[in-house]
């Protein structure tokens, strides 16, 4: 019987191991790759600007104010990104993984830390999206909250986030009636981290 050199066996086993590991990485979903790209910026803050506001918002609270996103915490399955508008630290985007995709919620607080009456609204992804873009149609709980607080226009909201690693991050709000609001952040130039959002530990 012809013996196979040990070195050949070692190479063959190593090759099989490599083949076995490849599918695991290829099984990452678009949502996985999206949050992986976001997590690369954990702890960093970035300046932004409104690039689309159609139709124009009367008394726009975002006009002429510094806009800063801060990828503040990246724990297992949750990413919290405060969105500061000038000295207003009331807004935090909360992203979590779900069994089928992702969930976006908006945590709104008053300066004393108490939740706003309209808070933790948002929705879950309805499809896989891409590694660069995830969209979140409004969920039933948020619709009920909006209706209870006289915010009828918001019952058709769809939020979206886009990321191009090391380039840009986009937050978007759209409605079927043509409403489109987009803020773009420059991921190539970190800025000093802002103070903690209202209601969060320093």
Q: Is the distance from CB of 108 to CB of 200 less than 8 angstroms?
A: no
Whole-number Å distance between alpha carbons of 160 and 170 = 8
Closest C-alpha among 133, 66, 84 to residue 104: 133
Q: If you classify domain 29-191 with CATH, what class do you get?
A: mainly beta
pLDDT of residue 59: 87
Average pLDDT over residues 133-161: 98
More confident residue, 17 or 103: 103
**What are the tokens at 29?**
């979903």
Least confident range of 6-10, 136-140, 153-157, 192-196: 6-10
pLDDT of residue 97: 95
pLDDT of residue 14: 38
What separation in angstroms does the CA of 161 have from each of 4, 28, 110, 123, 199?
55, 19, 25, 12, 24
Domains of the chain by residue range: 29-191
The whole-model pTM stands at 0.86
**Four-point Cα dihedral 143, 53, 48, 70, nearest 10:** -10
The answer for residues whose C-beta is within 8 angstroms of residue 81's C-beta and 6 or more apart is 38, 69, 70, 71, 72, 92, 93, 94, 95
**Four-point Cα dihedral 58, 59, 63, 69, nearest 10:** -90
Strand runs labelled E in 44-201: 45-54, 67-70, 73-75, 78-85, 88-97, 102-108, 121-124, 133-137, 158-164, 168-174, 180-191
Whole-number Å distance between alpha carbons of 93 and 83 = 7
Quick: pLDDT tens for 51-110.
Answer: 999 999 888 889 889 999 999 999 889 999 999 999 999 999 999 999 999 999 999 999
Q: Is the distance from CB of 55 to CB of 178 less than 8 angstroms?
A: yes
pLDDT of residue 26: 61
């Amino acid at each position: 019987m012809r013996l196979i050199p040990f070195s050949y066996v070692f190479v063959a086993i190593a090759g099989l191991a490599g083949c076995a590991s490849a599918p695991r990485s290829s099984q990452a979903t678009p949502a996985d790759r999206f949050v992986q790209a976001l997590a690369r910026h954990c702890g960093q803050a970035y300046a932004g600007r409104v690039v689309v506001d159609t139709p124009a918002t009367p008394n726009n609270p975002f006009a002429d104010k510094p806009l800063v996103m801060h990828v503040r915490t990246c724990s297992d399955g949750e990413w919290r990104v405060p969105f500061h508008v000038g000295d207003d630290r009331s807004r935090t985007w909360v992203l979590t993984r779900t069994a089928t995709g992702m969930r976006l919620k908006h945590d709104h607080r008053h300066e004393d830390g108490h939740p706003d009456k309209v808070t933790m609204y948002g929705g879950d992804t309805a499809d896989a999206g891409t590694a660069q873009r995830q969209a979140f149609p409004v969920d039933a709980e948020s619709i009920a909250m909006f209706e209870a607080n006289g915010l009828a226009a918001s019952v058709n909201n769809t939020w979206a986030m886009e990321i191009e690693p090391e380039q840009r991050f986009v937050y978007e709000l759209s409605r079927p009636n043509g409403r489109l609001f987009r803020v773009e952040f420059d991921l190539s130039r970190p800025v000093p981290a802002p103070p903690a959002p209202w209601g969060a530990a320093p």
